[in-house]
Amino acid sequence: MNSRRDFIRTLTGVVASTGLIKVAKAAVPGRHFAGPFGIQLYSLREQLAKDVPGSLKHIREAGYTTVETAGLYDMTPEDFKKQLDKAGLKCTGMHSGEDSRFRDHFDDIIAEAKVLKPVHVSCPWVDEKNRQDAEGCKRVAAEFNEWGKKLQAVGFRFSYHNHDVDFKPIGSTTAQDIFLAETDPKLVDFEFDLYFVQKVGLNPADFIKKHAARAKQLHLKDIAKSVKPGFQEEPDDTCVPLGTGQIDWPKTLDAAAAAGVKDYYVEDESPTAWDGIVKTHAYLKSVTF
């Protein structure tokens, strides 16, 4: 999904189908998913670039009340906050650019956070040159601790959002393993993107259980059944509404609830995300585990 990576670097009524409802109700009877879940605004990046008020209105009408930002679409933080308020949406998370922006424009990130008032300020990408070996990953992890300490001092939490490349082998380890091992849980949280966890051949429910103490946020994003495990680039349309792809959501959401995950964000990177986010919202309101 190169478009996602390119987008990150620039920062430095539809209803659910009957089939989706049947999938949700087919789960073993039990608890309904309690959330809370919001939406990652990257889902409607193309629509937001053209019409911020209209896109935010659509998100609210789809049933969402909280958002995680991914840029401000040439608006000031104050103006973007006004648009969120007008739409009845609250910012609970921020994606604030790749590692270089945290390194070079940290004061700008703090200023944005003070206006938007999220719980988490997340770094969603580390430049590959900075994590090509174990020593580089350790240096990045040390920076995560530093950024986490600075953000904590002004009332926010730092988190890191993974991609598939974070799971590529580096000798006998991976960047993701190093980030988890070398960061202080008091300062650094993790936002696990479950599309990429599944894509590299891991089981999302088991992954959450293994890292329960660090899993504070999740990206709820399903992957098409046609995708084979690996690190190959996949087109955006391999992101599909929850309940229609590979991930076993009842087991995954059960594991997340047991781990005490605090915030969930739906993300749909597909060209049909305008409708997909509505279908996913309906699924999450119906699924049990």
Distance between CA atoms of residues 147 and 151, nearest Å: 6
Distance CA 206, CA 202 (A): 8
Q: Which parts of 24-74 are beta strand (E)?
A: 37-40, 66-70
Predicted pLDDT of residue 22: 44
What's the pLDDT at 9?
A: 57
SS3 content of the chain, % helix, strand, coil (to 5): 50, 15, 35
> In angstroms, how far apart are the furthest CA atoms of the chain?
51
- Residue 102: count other Cβ atoms within 10 Å of its Cβ: 23
Structural Rg of the chain based on CA atoms: 18
The per-residue pLDDT for range 50-79, each reduced to its tens digit, is 999 999 999 999 999 999 999 999 999 999
Determine if the peptide bond prior to 250 is cis (ω within 30°): no
Whether the CB-CB separation of 197 and 168 falls below 8 Å is answered with no
pLDDT at 248: 98
- The whole-number average pLDDT for the span 111-129 is 97
Question: Is pLDDT above 50 for 17?
Answer: no
**Average pLDDT of the segment spanning 109-125:** 98
